Amino acid sequence: MTAEDEALAALQASALLDVLKWGAPVSFEATDQLYDEDQGHDQGVVGYLNFKHLQDLIDRATSNGRFKLGEGLDSLGGDVLKRGITPQAFNAMPHLAAGVVVRRDYKQSPGWAVEGYRVLLQSYPFGKVDDIKWVQRSDAKRRVADQLFVGDNTLFSDEEFGLESIPGIPDDDDFSGVTLIAAHAFNPTTKQFELYIGQSKNPEHVDDSCWHWKKLLLSGGTPTGGTGLPVAPTMPSGGASTDVEDVPVRIKRTGAGEGSGAANG
């Protein structure tokens, strides 16, 4: 079994993959409702909104973040979970038992972990999943792309590399395992979108890939120049986030009827 197969199997067994594939289109549709080019919204705004929407939806489905259960509670009421999303989105939401997926942030970058794997989010311009320059992203994303890749069916000893844990990020005391990236993109003009999962890499040479491996989870939308909301995504059998740092962006309403709102990458 390859490193990719093992990672995907673990994420599928925990249903975290289901949460990502549910949350991404819901996030993009929410962003589409707020995006307004006439108010100066650009790719940075799109990436920020997608990030914040997706973060909230993952927390919602996994009982983390502001949806974390209080002591003595088995679940949150539907009135709480339904706030801020459409009835259709709520009805389609995977319902994971609390504790199956836990928050394991890295250097202030939100992360969600299952046994042996953690997922961080990154936005990118649609169609540019192979052009992400991790050294230009946040310190967290740069360090994640530097983590050791244990190749297919290859075993290494700690002594060979002088690391306390293989694989993983040596300076991360809160999580031991492989950190992956869920890369997401949405074009509000064409309504095209895509979602990838993979292990990022800082290339050693100009022609090297920025991924050890990546898997397309979702793609959809109308053709270039088309209109309308995102269509049902396709799920391949077989990339990712706007080039936006993890910094806050604030969007204000400028008047009645002028839609914009706030919802990070």
pLDDT in tens, 146-197: 998 877 544 343 444 443 444 578 678 789 899 999 999 999 999 999 999 9
Total domains present in the chain? 1
pLDDT in tens, 80-93: 788 888 999 999 99
Any domain includes 22? yes
Structural domain of residue 118, as residue ranges? Answer: 3-220
79: pLDDT confidence band, cut at 50, 70 and 90? low
* Peptide bond between residue 125 and the one before it cis (omega within 30 degrees of 0): no
Q: What is the pTM of this model?
A: 0.78
- CB half-sphere exposure, 67, CA atoms < 13 A: 28
Any domain includes 263? no
Any domain includes 51? yes
pLDDT in tens, 3-61: 999 999 999 999 999 999 999 999 999 999 998 988 889 888 999 999 999 999 999 99
Any domain includes 262? no
Any domain includes 208? yes
Q: What would the two tokens of residue 191 be?
A: 């309504």
Any domain includes 247? no
Any domain includes 39? yes
Strands 211-220 and 102-103: unpaired
143: pLDDT confidence band, cut at 50, 70 and 90? very high
